[in-house]
Amino acid sequence: MVNNLIEYVSVEWKYILSLLYNHIQYSFVAVFIAVLIGVPLGIIIYNSKALNKPVLSIVNIVQAIPSLAALGFIVPYFGIGASTAIFMVVIYSLLPILKNTYAGLSSIDRNTLEAAKGIGMTESQILFLVQIPLALPVIMAGIRISSVTSVGLMTIAAYIGADVLGTLVISGIQMDNTSMIFAGAIPACILALTMDFFMGKVEKSITPSSLQLKPSQLTAEKVASFRQKRKLTIITTSAIVLIMGIIFISNLYSSEVDITIGSKESVEGRIVGHIMEEIIERKTNLKVDTKLGLGGTMIAYNALKIRDIDIYPDYTGTLLTAILKYKFEAGSSTDDIYDIINIELKKKDNIELLDIYPANNTYVLALRKETSEKYGLKKISDLKDISSRLVLGATPEFAVREDGLLGLEKTYNLDFKDVLDFSGTLRYTAINSKDVDIITAFATDSLINKYDLITLEDDLHFFPPYNMVPVLTTETARTYPEAIEALSSIANYLDDETMRRLNGYATDDGKSPSQIAKEFVDSIID
């Protein structure tokens, strides 16, 4: 494993460094904004007892919301990408800073404040010359906690299109690539420890020397040394934050692209997203950007609705049931479903479909051969009498969708012993280690063969066709007809066999989706 990790890093080190740089930049900016909001707000609620409980209650409630759920709430209103990731981290970083600011100010001896008033200090002088310096150790403790937390929270921002170290972790999970997971997780861990160390140095340098040294140590030389270190730390920290802020803002406004391509988090979605990028850039003069690996159907579709992306690949069955909330009628053809989706999405959101791809990545139920032989399972209806003895492994999205577990149980009258949620390829790991008995899979998954699983026949035709299709805004279709023509040129190439092969390059051979896409486009362009 170590050799594989070293090999991967030696090949992808530039990409890893770019993700690390983004992670550092976004984390610094988020913590800086949280400090700008949290410290003043802590001072305000300390001075205004009426605001104390309401503000702390609101912040506590926000902190209690799971971060992934918060992403789902935020994306429809704020979009995807770095700015939304920073906004989320700021929200979650506020509580320690706010509470510690309030606690630090509240812990100051009232006699000290009375003495300050007694010598004629104004309210602002007391605040800046007495209260804040004395409360600094407690305030900085909150900032240190937020700094470390921000690094971890920023990792999951990869779900909303932020190019951070979490991109490697999530991609590695999807591709069953341990080296990729470690290539993202190890730098993130080191960054968190470094952030804590750095903030510790800042805390020590700006805390008054009288709070760190014994009275006998308060010599002129010691005090002068402390002041010199404080000055240097303040200048260095301010310079870092300023540089990070300038680069972040310039990046927001400097990159002009014609088309932004998105994808969901699956390996297949990432590969096809990169294929779209390659074919458009090779056959047109358009500049393309990508925001791949978005965390699920609703995040990707909402990003398209609010024009954070211009096009992304989805599936007919998903669009029909999850987006339009239509119930699939058994016997409906792929063309019938396509026409319904195209008409309704245009009416609903000014969104339309391009030519459908032959690959049908429908849901399937997969299980080990020994389980199939033990219970005589060949089709899904065979599960009716023994489902209560089996544990199902499913994706979180499948578990809550009507075209997933909810409808499957009703149609086939199933009642599984337990249902465990797994992201990416962890379902295959779970069934291979016998933690689950049966899993949801996709028809074009190469891991079905890799793990020697068999699939059950959907004998009641519950699952609709899941043919891949590019989804885009009507505005994009009208503005960039050359891009539409380029994408149409690959439609006939992406059939079931091709997608299994391309997916296998990622999950079996460890190739990156971008490399797979480049090689595929090379093979079809004369």
Amino acid, single-letter form, for residue 42: G
Residue 483 — very low, low, confident or very high, per pLDDT cuts 50/70/90? very high
The residues, ordered by sequence, that sit 6+ positions from 168 with a Cβ below 8 Å of its Cβ are 16, 19, 180, 181, 183, 184, 185
How much is the pLDDT for 61? 83
Residue 418 DSSP code: E
| Whether 88 contacts 70, CB under 8 Å | yes
How much is the pLDDT for 216? 64
Q: What is the pLDDT of residues 148-207, one digit of tens each?
A: 989 988 998 888 888 899 988 988 887 878 888 999 999 999 999 988 888 887 777 776
How much is the pLDDT for 459? 92
Q: What is the pLDDT of residues 517-526, one digit of tens each?
A: 999 999 988 6
- Among 15-19, 101-105, 254-258, the minimum mean pLDDT is found in 254-258
How much is the pLDDT for 375? 93
Is the whole model's pTM more than 0.95, yes or no?
A: no
How much is the pLDDT for 198? 83
d(Cα 26, Cα 270) in Å, to the nearest integer? 23
313: three-class secondary structure by DSSP: strand
Q: What is the pLDDT of residues 279-299, one digit of tens each?
A: 999 999 999 999 998 877 888
473: three-class secondary structure by DSSP: strand
How much is the pLDDT for 525? 80
Write the DSSP assignment of 356-378 as a string of letters.
Answer: PPS-B--EEEEEEHHHHHHHT-S
Q: What is the pLDDT of residues 383-427, one digit of tens each?
A: 999 999 999 999 888 888 888 899 999 999 999 999 998 877 889
Which strands make up the sheet holding 391-394, listed edge to edge?
A: 418-421, 391-394, 438-442, 363-368, 453-455
Residue 20: how many other CB atoms lie within 10 Å: 18
Mean pLDDT for the stretch of residues 307-332: 89
Q: What is the pLDDT of residues 9-63, one digit of tens each?
A: 888 888 899 899 999 989 988 998 999 999 999 999 888 878 878 888 888 887 7
- Among 125-129, 309-313, 342-346, 404-408, the minimum mean pLDDT is found in 125-129
| Whether 160 contacts 81, CB under 8 Å | yes
- Among 74-88, 275-289, 332-346, 455-469, the minimum mean pLDDT is found in 74-88
Q: Which burial class, exposed, middle or buried, applies to 216 when counting CB atoms under 10 A from its CB (0-12, 13-18, 19+)?
A: exposed
Tokens 């791949």, residue located: 292
The residues, ordered by sequence, that sit 6+ positions from 328 with a Cβ below 8 Å of its Cβ are 317, 320, 321, 337, 403, 462, 463, 464
How much is the pLDDT for 391? 95
Mean pLDDT for the stretch of residues 479-494: 92
Q: What beta strand segments (E) does 193-345 contain?
A: 259-264, 288-294, 311-315
Q: Say whether pLDDT at 496 is over 70.
A: yes
How much is the pLDDT for 100? 92
Q: pLDDT averaged over the chain? A: 87
Q: Which helix (H) or strand (E) holds 3?
A: helix 2-47
Domains in the chain (CATH in brackets) are 2-198 (1.10.3720.10), 259-360+465-524 (3.40.190.10), 363-455 (3.40.190.120)
Amino acid, single-letter form, for residue 49: K
479: three-class secondary structure by DSSP: helix
Among positive and negative, which fits the CA dihedral 421, 426, 430, 432? positive
Q: Which burial class, exposed, middle or buried, applies to 422 when counting CB atoms under 10 A from its CB (0-12, 13-18, 19+)?
A: buried
469: three-class secondary structure by DSSP: strand
Q: Say whether pLDDT at 210 is over 70.
A: no
Amino acid, single-letter form, for residue 412: Y
How much is the pLDDT for 255? 61
Q: Say whether pLDDT at 83 is over 80.
A: yes
| Whether 276 contacts 484, CB under 8 Å | no
